[in-house]
Amino acid sequence: MLYPYIKSLHLIFVVTWFAGLFYIPRLFIYHIEAWQKPSPEKEILSEQLKLMTKRLWYIITWPSAILCTLFAIWLLVIQPVWLQEAWMQVKLGFVALLFVYHFKCHQIFKQLQRNEVKYTSRFMRIWNEVATLVLFAIVFLVILKNAFNWIYGVVGIVVLAIFLMLGIRLYKRIRDKNPNA
């Protein structure tokens, strides 16, 4: 009886977790670029971006990650046979990768909160795509559920990654020609 409700809540928190993971690197980019501005603009933007990232990180992203995980565990308790499925084992590997990404974002968040700028905005634009690739992998695995098809999905993710990198390079060229783009 509870299964559809638990699954629905799991999916809702997957969506909100990814929303936070998609937006936080974008705020990191703005924060890094703010440090290239002259004073007092640099300090004003930095303080505003710190507040925005803090609210996003602690009010949306972290709670969503925790709730998503709790509902996922509950689903696995209800359906323990899934743990024997190859697609689920690979999916859990991607989820572990997503947590590594999340913790690295947390580290970058803490650095920027201390005004420590250690990365370029270009690096952050590339970093921003990691969550996209993990999302694609997880969705293909969950929907296809068969080893042969998920291999095609992973190959597709590699192709997607190549296109994303090309898109980032194209955007950089456009931006270099027109800094207001």
Binding-site residue positions for heme? 10, 91
How far, in Å, are 28, 33, 43, 45, 94 from residue 36 at the CA level? 13, 5, 10, 11, 35
Q: Which residues contact 26 (CB under 8 A, 6 or more apart)?
A: 128
CA gap 81, 138 in Å, rounded? 18
In the annotated binding site, the residues are 10, 91
CA gap 124, 122 in Å, rounded? 5
